[in-house]
Structure 1
Amino acid sequence: MTQRDVLVAGGKGASLGEMIHAGIPVPPGFVLTAQTFDHVLSSHGAKSEVAARCAQINIEDMNSVEQTSEILQGVIQGISISEEIAAEIYEAFDALHTDVVAVRSSATAEDGVTASWAGELETYLNTPRDQVIEHIKKCWASLFTPRALFYRCEKQLSANEISVAVVIQKMVQSEIAGVAFTVHPVTEDPDQMIIEAVFGLGEALVGGYVTPDSYIVSKKSCAILEIHTGMQKKKLVRGKQGNVWIDLDEEGGRQKLSKMDISTLAELCKKIESHYGFPCDIEWAYHNGRWYMTQSRPITTLKK
């Protein structure tokens, strides 16, 4: 699977497959294709209803959007997955040799240069085997949340132009995680990349719940230009039942990555940008001395 497979695996799934082919470290996993979602919709006679209700949305009327969202999410979560498809999902899950996975939505219009769905669809971390089907259906349903419907209308995407795959990956219980932009997103300096880092799972940063460290690095030399240490008050980790927040005291004010780790990660991000040939917005995790890239997409906010 490569970046050419967006219509099959969605933007996230295709990008992860592309990175694997490029030798970038990515957590092992599998993709439930967009065609599976379309097949399940069609087999329950729901595809035409979805298209009709999406076509009738009045984006100027919030009640219209919310009502359509509630109906369509109910339709999606109410459908059943056949025993044959469920058996294939469980077989692939078991092949990962893990007790929990990350279940991530991957829209077929996602992560394009002109239409980034970042943050519009759902991700479910630390999902056990007995909840994976439920979370797959929630990922499907997230294609029809009010904000996703607004985004769809804003980008003028019809129901027939977008579908959703689901990426299921072995869960990385990161000690440190974060994001990286291979071009400075504010100054747009092409020789400066920014790395942000937090303790615990990266969802705490992506969701805007904590203040990260921020490191500015020269892309040419990978020399560190600036270090800003954030005061992180809590971290998100795996608990006995799902994810839990743990309060941090003085530990939260420590620098999250060493200078050597910052330079190592910068080199890895440079490799990703060089492979794709455009500035990248990257999500990463660090566990037991190993780096994992959990997402890469184009930076969509650059003006230059």
Structure 2
Amino acid sequence: MADLLSQRLDPDMWGHKAARLSQVADLGLPVPPGLCLSTAALAHGTSEAIASLRTWLELYRPRRVVVRTSSTLEDGLERAQAGRSVSLLNCPPDASALARVIDQDLLSQEDLEAVPGGCVLVQEQVEAPLYGVAFLSQDRLLVEASPYPDGATAGMPLRMRARRDARRFRASTGPDQVPSLALTAQLHPLCQQLSAHFGFDVDVEWAWTGATVLVLQVRPITRAALEWAS
């Protein structure tokens, strides 16, 4: 078991998703609190996990929880395989119920238990007016946003672009639908910092509270950016 915010995690042990988020937290950037449960330990039973979950829930008291997988087989530099990940939203903040969800819905996923390194990440579900992804390549930013936490899979109705100066930002859906300057004024330097730290063009999942951008995931860009670079 490992606390996401207080430990710098090894990707070979905890998977790329959890390890990168622990580095983001170490940089001082906002990351929702989370508890990492190794798949190797979970394969031998959930009694220890239930005790750890109870402690974590008492400490952070989340209203809702998202349960996600973090694997060494996804989000790597050589192979992204982003579709391997599983995210379960709106889980109850109850240790026994979460253990059942993990056992029935995640550990039953093909090959998950056989992966040599990885974890199940139990994380506070952010309540925010906007969620989305941001792609930074060659200092050009593309932002896709949705009012729904599962917008990445449900489809992003808002698309915005920025170059070096956030004042040149434009939203393809119209300036009145999203506080574009305030959002990109935070997203652009955040993505630049993450790109410089990790050493690759970044694909960042985020949630915006209206005052702060929280980082939900960081991975290498997995799609061509040439069409929006111009």
TM-score, normalised on structure 2?
0.83
- 1:55-92 CA-to-partner distances (Å, cap 9, x unmatched) read xxxxxxxxxxxxxxxxxxxxxxxxx523x332122212
1:132 to 95, 98, 104: 98
Q: Which amino acid aligns with 2:155?
A: V
Specify the alignment match of 1:196 in structure 2: 144
User: Residue 8 of structure 1 contacts residue 35 of structure 1 at CA under 8 Å; is this kept in 2?
Assistant: no
Is there any run of 5+ residues in structure 1 with no aligned partner, and where? Answer: 44-79, 153-158, 184-189, 231-252
Larger radius of gyration: 1
Residue 141 of structure 1 and its aligned partner are, at CA, apart by 2.4
Specify the alignment match of 2:4 in structure 1: none
User: Residue 130 of structure 2 contacts residue 145 of structure 2 at CA under 8 Å; is this kept in 1?
Assistant: yes
* Larger helix percent: 1
1:292 to 214, 221, 226: 214
Task: Give me the identity figure in percent.
Answer: 28
The answer to whether residue 162 in structure 2 is matched with residue 217 in structure 1 is yes
Count residues in correspondence.
Answer: 217
Please report the RMSD computed on the Cα atoms of aligned residues, expressed in angstroms.
2.6
The answer to whether residue 37 in structure 2 is matched with residue 35 in structure 1 is no
Determine the C-alpha separation between the residues in 2 that align with 1:136 and 1:27. 19
User: Residue 108 of structure 1 contacts residue 165 of structure 1 at CA under 8 Å; is this kept in 2?
Assistant: no
After superposition, the Cα gap between the structure-2 partners of 1:174 and 1:303, relative to the gap in structure 1 and judged at 3 Å, is: closer
Specify the alignment match of 2:12 in structure 1: 7
- 1:134-155 CA-to-partner distances (Å, cap 9, x unmatched) read 222222223x1xxxx7xx9xxx
User: Residue 6 of structure 1 contacts residue 109 of structure 1 at CA under 8 Å; is this kept in 2?
Assistant: no
Specify the alignment match of 1:276 in structure 2: 198
Determine the C-alpha separation between the residues in 1 that align with 2:142 and 2:68. 25
- 1:173-218 CA-to-partner distances (Å, cap 9, x unmatched) read 11111000012xxxxxx231101111232x1x211x2342111111
The answer to whether residue 39 in structure 2 is matched with residue 94 in structure 1 is no
Aligned positions of 1:175-254 closer than 5 A: 175-183=129-137, 190-201=138-149, 203=150, 205-207=151-153, 209-218=154-163, 220-229=164-173, 254=176
After superposition, the Cα gap between the structure-2 partners of 1:260 and 1:30, relative to the gap in structure 1 and judged at 3 Å, is: same
Residue 258 of structure 1 and its aligned partner are, at CA, apart by 2.8
Is there any run of 5+ residues in structure 2 with no aligned partner, and where? Answer: 1-6
Q: Which amino acid aligns with 2:90?
A: N
Determine the C-alpha separation between the residues in 2 that align with 1:103 and 1:121. 11
Determine the C-alpha separation between the residues in 1 that align with 2:167 and 2:198. 22
Specify the alignment match of 1:141 in structure 2: 108
Residue 254 of structure 1 and its aligned partner are, at CA, apart by 4.9
Residue 163 of structure 1 and its aligned partner are, at CA, apart by 4.3
3-state SS of paired residue (1:293):
strand
Determine the C-alpha separation between the residues in 1 that align with 2:187 and 2:130. 12
